[in-house]
Amino acid sequence: MNIELSQFVREALLKNKSRADIQQALKLAHWQDDEIKTALDAYADQEFSIPVPKRKPYLSAGEAFKYLVLFLTLYCSAISLGTILFQAVNRNFIDMISGGYMAIDDTTITSTIRFATAMLVVAFPIFLWISYIGTKAMLKNPDKRSSRVRKWLTYITLFIASGVIIGDSITLVYNFLSGELTTRFILKCIIVGIITGCIFGYYLLDLRGEEEDSNVLNYNSAGFKIFLGSILALVISTLIYGFSTAGSPAKERAKRFDDTKVNDLQQIQNAVNIYYQTHTKLPESLEQLKTEPNVYLQSVQDPESKAQYEYRIITSSTFEVCANFNSPSSQSLDGQSKPYANGQPFWDHTQGHVCYTIKTPILNPAQYPAPLYVK
């Protein structure tokens, strides 16, 4: 607040000038309405021999912490919500021009949805709880609305939301002019617009009510309840989709076991090939590989059953490794092997007991062939 303005208001009140007269005089001196209001609001409107200053709100470290966590969880919730919805669009709408010929990397999409779901599950309830206790405290003590930390974070949030909305609009127009206006792109723009629009609209009305010293956001009104209910419905439905896509923890753990088994078998293949290049013969057992120099084997045991992987010599240059898998690999979800780049099946597998017959390279350690899949 301007010191000269504050002193003028105090001296005018000391001389029993009315607030209307003081406001009129300051307007004629070209002071802004918000400056006049701030200066007059610094003193209580009550009868006393001298002007009574109002208590200035004090923001404790605890309150500053709450506001920082509030806006942090808001950003996390918005980002995770948008990420899940974006990946849902990517999975269900494929742009045939920009890579539609390529297979969808379902593993990456599922992993992204899983992480975003975890972030939303943690961040959104915290945001709701802190918002609730903060709103309750401000309704009880309106002076808390004048928190500078809260104002700064709110304006920063409005700035970010405005930038996203403007950028979203520019991108929409640019892609329209470029002939790339697809259903997938339009849906993503709508998602961004809804999320940022809700954030922008809510906090803009909140600041407007604070500046006008009124309750623009009526928390008991039907409109606000509909708005809040719509947000909750969107978040809950998105979480349901996220959980259904991410899969159960038991299923994911079984899949991780399968991935580890494939990795172990690949290491065994490389180790046997190195042994063959060195000794021109196959090792008698997997245990023999452990003592071989320049050979790295993380494990020769199934991480799930703790039993040793099956290893058998077929011919002088061909061997077989086997493992038990919990589910089909992503490349053979229909139970059938899919060809790899050279026409031979690679490390894909069906559910159950799977064996790979592998022919060692002809004294060429730089190139190892793909295994010949045999169940």
- Coil/strand/helix, residue 374: strand
Please give the share of the chain, as a percent, with pLDDT higher than 90: 14
More confident residue, 353 or 64: 353
Distance between CA 239 and CA 118 in Å, rounded?
A: 9
Bridge-partner residues for 325, per DSSP?
352
More confident residue, 365 or 132: 132
Contact 375, 355 (CB under 8 A): yes
More confident residue, 238 or 98: 238
Task: Give the pLDDT band (50/70/90) at residue 127.
Answer: very high
Q: Look at residue 82 and tell me whether its pLDDT is greater than 70.
A: yes
- Coil/strand/helix, residue 203: helix
Task: Give the pLDDT band (50/70/90) at residue 340.
Answer: very low
Q: Is 310 exposed, middle or buried (0-12, 13-18, 19+ CB in 10 A)?
A: middle
Q: Look at residue 342 and tell me whether its pLDDT is greater than 60.
A: no
The arithmetic mean of pLDDT across residues 127-134, rounded, is 89
Task: Give the pLDDT band (50/70/90) at residue 369.
Answer: low
More confident residue, 331 or 47: 47
Q: Look at residue 21 and tell me whether its pLDDT is greater than 90.
A: no
Q: Look at residue 38 and tell me whether its pLDDT is greater than 90.
A: no
- Coil/strand/helix, residue 17: coil
Secondary structure percentages of the chain, helix, strand, coil, to 5: 60, 10, 30
The arithmetic mean of pLDDT across residues 340-347, rounded, is 47
Segment among 115-124, 131-140, 202-211, 328-337 with least mean pLDDT: 328-337
The arithmetic mean of pLDDT across residues 27-37, rounded, is 84
More confident residue, 126 or 333: 126
Q: Look at residue 48 and tell me whether its pLDDT is greater than 70.
A: yes
The arithmetic mean of pLDDT across residues 96-107, rounded, is 54
What is the model's pLDDT at position 14? 85
More confident residue, 145 or 310: 310
Phi, psi (rounded to 5 degrees) for 308: -70, 145
Q: What secondary structure letter does DSSP report for 140? A: H
Locate 164 and state its tokens.
């996203």
CA distances from 189 to 70, 74, 221, 352 (A): 26, 20, 30, 44
Distance between CA 286 and CA 291 in Å, rounded?
A: 10
The arithmetic mean of pLDDT across residues 323-339, rounded, is 62
R_g (Cα) of the chain, nearest Å: 33
Task: Give the tens place of pLDDT for each residue, 269-296.
Answer: 888 888 888 888 898 888 888 777 777 7
What is the model's pLDDT at position 143? 65
Q: What is the mean pLDDT of the chain?
A: 79
Contact 350, 335 (CB under 8 A): yes
Burial annotation 335-358 (CB, 10 A radius, 16+ → b, else e) = eebeeeeeeebbbbbbeeebbbbb
Highest mean pLDDT, choosing among 54-58, 139-143, 292-296? 292-296
Distance between CA 257 and CA 19 in Å, rounded?
A: 76
Task: Give the pLDDT band (50/70/90) at residue 365.
Answer: very low
Domain boundaries, the chain: 3-41, 61-246, 250-374
Strand arrangement of the beta sheet that strand 310-315 belongs to = 310-315, 318-325, 352-359, 372-374
| Residue partners of 262: CB distance under 8 A and separation at least 6 | 323, 329, 347, 349
Distance between CA 356 and CA 36 in Å, rounded?
A: 83
Q: What secondary structure letter does DSSP report for 301? A: B
Distance between CA 119 and CA 207 in Å, rounded?
A: 28
Task: Give the tens place of pLDDT for each residue, 174-199.
Answer: 777 776 667 888 888 888 888 888 88
What is the model's pLDDT at position 163? 84
